[in-house]
Amino acid sequence: MKASLFQPLIIRSITLKNRIAVSPMCQYSAVDGFANDWHLVHLGSRAVGGAGLIIMEASAVSPEGRITPDDIGIWKDEHIPFLQRITSFITSQGTVPGIQLAHAGRKASHQSPWKGAQPLAKEEGAWQTIAPSAIPFKDTDPLPEAMSKNSIIKLISDFKSAAARALQAGFKVVEIHAAHGYLLNSFLSPLSNRSTDEYGGAFENRTRLLIEVVHAVRTVWPHDYPLFVRISATDWADGGWTIDDSVVLSAVLKNINVDLIDCSSGGNVAAKIPVGPLYQTAFAERIKKETGILTGAVGMINTTDEAESIISNERADIVLLARQFLRDPYFPLHAAKNLGVDVDWPNQYLRAK
Ligand SMILES: Cc1cc2nc3c(=O)[nH]c(=O)nc-3n(C[C@H](O)[C@H](O)[C@H](O)COP(=O)(O)O)c2cc1C
């Protein structure tokens, strides 16, 4: 029997040829939000390497939604043509192109990692960050501005326009980024959301913004294309967002036509995280079992056996690999070989198969 990792997965009208996805990874290599040759070669290599799905990095729905000035953006139509070139190449390799739509919230306006990762100074073009409440992520970060109703309405509209552009650019999967302490995540957690209006307080209020974003995106994102949401399944902190909350949220999202929950964790508040092999997989497993929604497992999935065991034991429906894909763009081709599965290689590479 064919290995589980190489069983196709059909979500709505889209078929993933295997269960291996490239997890979204910021490249901090864009100028004014524009993708360029780096992104084409980086993502293109992983399509050549046989991934079933590639989710392009956190792509900002507005200029202020960028973590750094070097982030990819999808806030203006001019961004579309080069993205189209990328999706067209990815598609030509039999890989499904996806994109993560993001707003960095109170973690925006920083330098890229290799430029220091500090808050931008005024002369570096710093901008005012936004959040549910005026609480910085780190004490050393500038104070974010608590969002007004008008700024929430604009945000929802920005996600919607970005999804419409993603469609035009040829993406087949949209993932809404509601993890890692970025704007939508910061609304979910009571540790970062102290708002007293209809977007803060009770669970129903803290989840309202994400739900409104999903509804808005679905009005422009075709019914037969998959919609994913990445969450931080737990804050790993006392008094914070928990896996129980994530189970309840996932059931709600399933009811409003979200197809898959991509289960990450942490990043919203300082916390001690027990990082190790498959350390977040239990979240994907529990959400899948208790709600019936498709899930993605991510985090320290580095070997063929680890990836195969997650799918064959039905702990998740796809695995998303990040750093392992930086080490080995051909991970899926190598995994197939390890599992004795015959998969297509690009014709140009057949002599090495
Ligand atoms: C260079 C780099 C950039 C990342 N950028 C993003 C991103 O844009 N969006 C996101 O949700 N996660 C991002 N992540 C997190 C990964 O998608 C993934 O969840 C995390 O690295 C754990 O998986 P791994 O152990 O396979 O690396 C990034 C990780 C790395 C290493």
Residue 257 φ/ψ, nearest 5 degrees: 75, 25
CA of 206 to the centre of ligand 1 (A): 25
Q: Choose the residue to mutate in 20, 22, 25, 39 for probing ligand 1, maximizing ligand atoms within 8 Å of C-beta.
A: 25
- pLDDT in the model for residue 212: 98
For residues 176-193, one letter each, b for 16 or more C-beta atoms within 10 angstroms of the residue's C-beta and e for the rest, the string is bbbbbbbbbbbbbbbbbb
Closest to 84 measured CA to CA, from 50, 64, 56, 105: 56
Contact 44, 135 (CB under 8 A): no
- pLDDT in the model for residue 68: 98
Is the minimum distance from the CB of 299 to ligand 1 under 6 angstroms?
yes
Closest to 45 measured CA to CA, from 77, 93, 115, 109: 93
Q: What is the pLDDT along the chain (353 residues), one digit of tens a residue?
A: 579 999 999 999 999 999 999 999 999 999 999 999 999 999 999 999 999 999 999 999 999 999 999 999 999 999 999 999 999 999 999 999 999 999 999 999 999 999 999 999 999 999 999 999 999 999 999 999 999 999 999 999 999 999 999 999 999 999 999 999 999 999 999 999 999 999 999 999 999 999 999 999 999 999 999 999 999 999 999 999 999 999 999 999 999 999 999 999 999 999 999 999 999 999 999 999 999 999 999 999 999 999 999 999 999 999 999 999 999 999 999 999 999 999 999 999 999 99
CA-proximal residue: ligand 1, atom 11 (nearest):
24
CA-proximal residue: ligand 1, atom 30 (nearest):
25
Is the minimum distance from the CB of 26 to ligand 1 under 6 angstroms?
yes
Q: What is the DSSP string of 25-72?
A: ------BTTB--HHHHHHHHHHHHTT-SEEEEEEEESSGGG-SSTTSE
Which residues have a catalytic role annotated? 182
Q: What is the largest CA-CA distance in the chain?
A: 64
CA-proximal residue: ligand 1, atom 5 (nearest):
25
Which CATH number fits the domain 16-352, given the four candidates 3.40.50.2000, 3.10.590.10, 3.20.20.70, 3.20.20.140? 3.20.20.70
Closest to 187 measured CA to CA, from 202, 200, 170, 204: 200
Is the minimum distance from the CB of 24 to ligand 1 under 6 angstroms?
yes
Is the minimum distance from the CB of 58 to ligand 1 under 6 angstroms?
yes
Is the minimum distance from the CB of 324 to ligand 1 under 6 angstroms?
yes
CA of 25 to the centre of ligand 1 (A): 5
- pLDDT in the model for residue 1: 56
Is the minimum distance from the CB of 248 to ligand 1 under 6 angstroms?
no
CA-proximal residue: ligand 1, atom 23 (nearest):
299
Q: What is the DSSP string of 180-215?
A: TTSHHHHHH-TTT----STTSSSHHHHTHHHHHHHH
Domain boundaries, the chain: 16-352
Is the minimum distance from the CB of 321 to ligand 1 under 6 angstroms?
yes
Q: Which atom of ligand 1 lies nearest, measured to the CA of 323?
A: 27
